[in-house]
Structure 1
Amino acid sequence: MPELDVRGLPPPEPFENIMRALQTLPAGEALRVHIHREPYPLYEVLRDNGYRWQTTALANGDFEILITRTA
């Protein structure tokens, strides 16, 4: 499973890097993202484009998001 670490990047770089990585993700595959804040605007874009995601808040304050391409 590919992983993408966008922790510490200023906006809009995390969003742009995530969307770029998702463009090459085959249907049914997942991308694990490490990010330093919960990316609420990303969720709407994921929903509108047929992705599923699961967000986990980590003890250190970071977030891990597992994004799956469904179509």
Structure 2
Amino acid sequence: MSPPAFQSLDLRALPAPEPMVRALDAADALAPGGVLELLTPRLPAPLIQQLRDRGLHVSAERLDEGSARVTVQWPDGDAVDGKGDGEDTR
């Protein structure tokens, strides 16, 4: 079995609403078990909520320069709670 697909997108230099649009498009294209890393200009609370509403696992962390790293994973299996593991949206 091959490891899950991993994709990283650096969205920090894009004007709004482009980071959200590209992040949601990439998340919608995730295969089961796939992982998406998003680098965003700030902690994107509305994006995080939209990703969770889609049933994706989401974790986020603030980076030193004020930007954020958001990790999105499409869960394997049928049980989806949308809450994710290790979430930190403070």
Normalising by structure 2, we get a TM-score of 0.72
Distance 1:49 1:24 in 2: 12
The higher relative CO (CA closer than 8 Å, separation ≥ 6) is in: 1
- Count of aligned pairs between the two proteins: 71
1: CA distance, partners of 2:42 / 2:66: 8
RMSD, matched Cα: 1.3
TM-superposition CA deviations, 1:3-33 (whole Å, max 9, x none): 0010021211000000111122111111000
Q: 2:62 aligns with which of 34, 57, 71?
A: 57
Structure 1 CA distance for aligned equivalents of residues 41 and 31 of structure 2: 26
TM-score by length of 1: 0.89
Larger Rg: 2
In structure 2, runs of 5+ residues without a counterpart are 1-5, 77-90
Structure 1 runs not aligned, ≥5 long: none
Task: Provide the identity percentage.
Answer: 31
Higher helix share: 1
After TM superposition, which residue ranges in structure 1, 4 or more long, deviate above 2 angstroms? none
